[in-house]
A and B are shown apart, each in its own frame.
Chain A
């Protein structure tokens, strides 16, 4: 059904035309002297606000041990199924990884699938996966856009840890209620 839109007749000021011209020029002049908001990307980079959801990464604890235990909850929760984990067990004879039983053998995040929703970070019981500040990704092939475990740790680095889970496990085994 057709609508008939009633148009108000122009006022005198509008019909004079000049007030509108000056109003426009005032806005132009204001922006001429206002501080610049355009970033000269990529030479200039924006300041990333806290809580930003960039590329998902794996992090190590301050002692350089991997925190991920390959529970595969991120793989389960990931809406676009971008995460693929091959779980593996940690042999008992590694002195620096005592009390760690399970770690990922392979960990892949397909950045062509990732939608940066942050559910993996939210679901991680070990605080091992974080969406950090990196936002710009490019590659020449599809394979290049799949971040493997080494790349994920390289991107993630070390974040401050609140729990020191493995140290607690070690302390419990050495001084705790050992049976």
Chain B
């Protein structure tokens, strides 16, 4: 990986234009800073340099000095220091900028190099762009348009190689398309720490393969598909599903853990086809875990809740909401009418900051106890952390909870057993899975606001369906206390209201101060009430997120260990 750049700048000259770049920048990045594109295949800013594709050849020159005295040699014609141009081109990826370096990317010689490299790469290329999943986002396709000759001089027969090798459970290799850039090999070794890929054989027989007896099965295997500059590595799930130019990209957040990897959701006409990482150098670089890429399947899952129910019978949303209000305000339900009932809110670390804020308002209004369901798994030290709730910190920031949630809802269970709690408002949480017993749940009148069926929704008095993260917009606070926003990728299920609408209706009906049901209306209220969010609004939140002041929660024993771009603050409960 590229080392962090030192802050001192040096001046280089790209195509006659002087530009200051950080010391240690390679020529591709220096040219990029000068807004000159140097075409490349094997170079990737987050991987080591291998320099094998030869596409980034440029001409390079250094200021001339007298060999003996080291005094600069001046050019009398221009009055400037002479430039010694190297007789041969150099690869821009593996050459770091030095003071006074001159780069020429637009000469006939450089053009000739690019044309020749392209012609060689296309000699054995199968040209199956019509069926290739990479078409439309393929570097070879782009550079062939720019530097290819448009016809082939190759009269011999092309190589024939296997077209659908399964490298792992999620990755299919089309060998004919591979240009042997070795990005996937370097990624597996350096980022995924699972060195299973390699090249075997020589010359045109060279083949990408797994080591014998191994598979590309790690949880980061699909990143190799993303960084493959051609269509050689394809996602088995997305293979032949949809051409990329039909898909709309929506910035989103990976909700599988508190890492909050930035993602791009690709959808067409309300159907999501794939999820890919979105670059955020402070969170996930350009990677994400495979497990986060299949989460969109929950949108059209068979067990999705599509309509409101009251005691198991389908009712209108309005009736269900009214029943929920009655239960919460102590006017109905299983306990004897008139008796003051204890209400608890089981909130979720999967809710957005805005939902958690409204949940807190509802809980405050009802004087309800608030519990939050903890989900602790094992972190993989890369981009899946131990805390599988994406937004525990959002609940802390909005004041929904003051301390970290207990592992099981034991306190709530005890309160139920003691008869203090009769009504529970569950924000999509399965109470049985969260640690209550069936007997305890049976004593409760549950209002369930969630997206999918589970043991709790099955017995809940009132079920109000809500939207998945792909169907709504909002913000989450990740493990770095970075406030990140996601946008709505696809329209919500017909007849299902936005979570904010449902929650603000409940709040209004319970007698709370009316708050907006949209992000635009809600954020000024949140910013006014929550100190660390004082200057945040949804619209102005940068796409890379906003780091919040986490000093108030520094002492809490968060469960996360170290992951990419995150080091836990040493606290009492931190285990690495």
* Interface, chain A (partner B; CB < 8 A): 69-73, 75-76, 87-89, 92, 101-102, 125-126, 172-173, 176-179
Chain A residues within 8 Å of B135, by CB: 71
Contact B130 A87 (CB under 8 A): no
Contact B130 A69 (CB under 8 A): yes
Chain B 95-137 per-residue mask, 1 if CB under 8 angstroms from chain A, else 0: 0000000000000000000000000000000000111000100
Which of B130, B161, B163 contacts A71, CB < 8 Å? B130
Question: Chain A residue with minimal CB distance to B239?
Answer: A89
A127 CB to closest chain B CB (Å) equals 11
Contact B159 A102 (CB under 8 A): no
Contact A173 B130 (CB under 8 A): no
Contact A101 B130 (CB under 8 A): no
Question: Is B433 located at the chain interface by the 8 A CB criterion?
Answer: no
10 tightest Cβ-Cβ pairs between the two chains A and B: A71-B130, A102-B131, A176-B157, A89-B240, A178-B160, A177-B157, A125-B130, A72-B243, A69-B131, A177-B159
Contacts A71-B243, A87-B242: A176 and B158 contacting too (C-beta < 8 A)? yes
CA distance A88 to B159 in the complex (A): 26
CA distance A153 to B207 in the complex (A): 39
Chain A residues within 8 Å of B163, by CB: 101
Question: Is B241 located at the chain interface by the 8 A CB criterion?
Answer: yes
Contact A88 B240 (CB under 8 A): yes
Contact B130 A177 (CB under 8 A): no
Interface residues on B, range: 20 to 34
Contact B164 A101 (CB under 8 A): yes
Question: Chain A residue with minimal CB distance to B204?
Answer: A179
Which of B129, B158, B246 contacts A177, CB < 8 Å? B158
Question: Is B211 located at the chain interface by the 8 A CB criterion?
Answer: no
Chain B residues within 8 Å of A178, by CB: 159-160
Contact B158 A172 (CB under 8 A): yes
Chain A residues within 8 Å of B239, by CB: 89
B206 CB to closest chain A CB (Å) equals 9
Question: Is B156 located at the chain interface by the 8 A CB criterion?
Answer: yes
Contacts A71-B130, A71-B131, A179-B204: A76 and B160 contacting too (C-beta < 8 A)? no
Which of B160, B204, B240 contacts A87, CB < 8 Å? B240
Question: Chain B residue with minimal CB distance to A174?
Answer: B160
A58 CB to closest chain B CB (Å) equals 15
* Interface, chain B (partner A; CB < 8 A): 129-131, 135, 156-161, 163-164, 175, 204-205, 207, 239-243, 245-246
Contact A76 B245 (CB under 8 A): yes
Contact A177 B156 (CB under 8 A): yes
Which of A75, A101, A179 contacts B160, CB < 8 Å? A179
B441 CB to closest chain A CB (Å) equals 43
Contact A72 B158 (CB under 8 A): no
CA distance A89 to B157 in the complex (A): 26
Question: Chain B residue with minimal CB distance to A171?
Answer: B157
Chain A residues within 8 Å of B240, by CB: 70, 87-89, 101-102
CA distance A126 to B129 in the complex (A): 11
CA distance A57 to B243 in the complex (A): 22
Contact A179 B159 (CB under 8 A): yes
Chain B residues within 8 Å of A92, by CB: 164
Chain B residues within 8 Å of A173, by CB: 160
Which of B131, B160, B204, B207 contacts A172, CB < 8 Å? B160
Contact B130 A179 (CB under 8 A): no
Most buried by B among A87, A102, A179: A179
Question: Chain B residue with minimal CB distance to A126?
Answer: B130
Question: Chain A residue with minimal CB distance to B172?
Answer: A89
Chain A residues within 8 Å of B130, by CB: 69, 71, 73, 125-126
CA distance A5 to B207 in the complex (A): 85
CA distance A117 to B323 in the complex (A): 57
A140 CB to closest chain B CB (Å) equals 28
Question: Chain B residue with minimal CB distance to A100?
Answer: B131
Chain A residues within 8 Å of B159, by CB: 177-179
Contacts A101-B131, A125-B130, A126-B130: A72 and B205 contacting too (C-beta < 8 A)? no
Chain B residues within 8 Å of A126, by CB: 130
Q: Return 23 A-B CB contacts under 8 Å, by A number.
A: A69-B131, A70-B131, A71-B131, A72-B246, A73-B130, A76-B245, A87-B240, A87-B241, A88-B240, A92-B164, A101-B131, A101-B240, A125-B130, A126-B130, A172-B158, A172-B160, A173-B160, A176-B160, A177-B156, A177-B160, A178-B160, A179-B160, A179-B175
Question: Chain B residue with minimal CB distance to A87?
Answer: B240
9 new A-B contacts at CB < 8 Å, known A71-B131, A177-B158, A179-B204 = A71-B130, A71-B135, A73-B130, A87-B240, A87-B241, A101-B131, A172-B157, A176-B157, A177-B204
Contact B158 A179 (CB under 8 A): no
Chain A residues within 8 Å of B160, by CB: 172-173, 176-179
Chain A residues within 8 Å of B129, by CB: 125
A173 CB to closest chain B CB (Å) equals 5
CA distance A125 to B128 in the complex (A): 10
Question: Chain A residue with minimal CB distance to B207?
Answer: A179
CA distance A12 to B159 in the complex (A): 89
Contacts A71-B131, A125-B130, A179-B205: A76 and B243 contacting too (C-beta < 8 A)? yes
A59 CB to closest chain B CB (Å) equals 16
Chain B residues within 8 Å of A102, by CB: 131, 240
B289 CB to closest chain A CB (Å) equals 25
B59 CB to closest chain A CB (Å) equals 36
CA distance A128 to B164 in the complex (A): 24
A67 CB to closest chain B CB (Å) equals 11
Chain A residues within 8 Å of B161, by CB: 179
CA distance A87 to B133 in the complex (A): 11
CA distance A75 to B242 in the complex (A): 11
Most buried by A among B129, B160, B163, B207: B160
B123 CB to closest chain A CB (Å) equals 11
Chain A residues within 8 Å of B131, by CB: 69-71, 101-102
Question: Chain B residue with minimal CB distance to A90?
Answer: B240
Chain A residues within 8 Å of B164, by CB: 92, 101
Chain B residues within 8 Å of A101, by CB: 131, 163-164, 240
A86 CB to closest chain B CB (Å) equals 9
A178 CB to closest chain B CB (Å) equals 5
CA distance A87 to B239 in the complex (A): 10
Chain A residues within 8 Å of B242, by CB: 72, 87
CA distance A106 to B280 in the complex (A): 39
CA distance A173 to B131 in the complex (A): 18
CA distance A71 to B133 in the complex (A): 9
CA distance A126 to B158 in the complex (A): 20
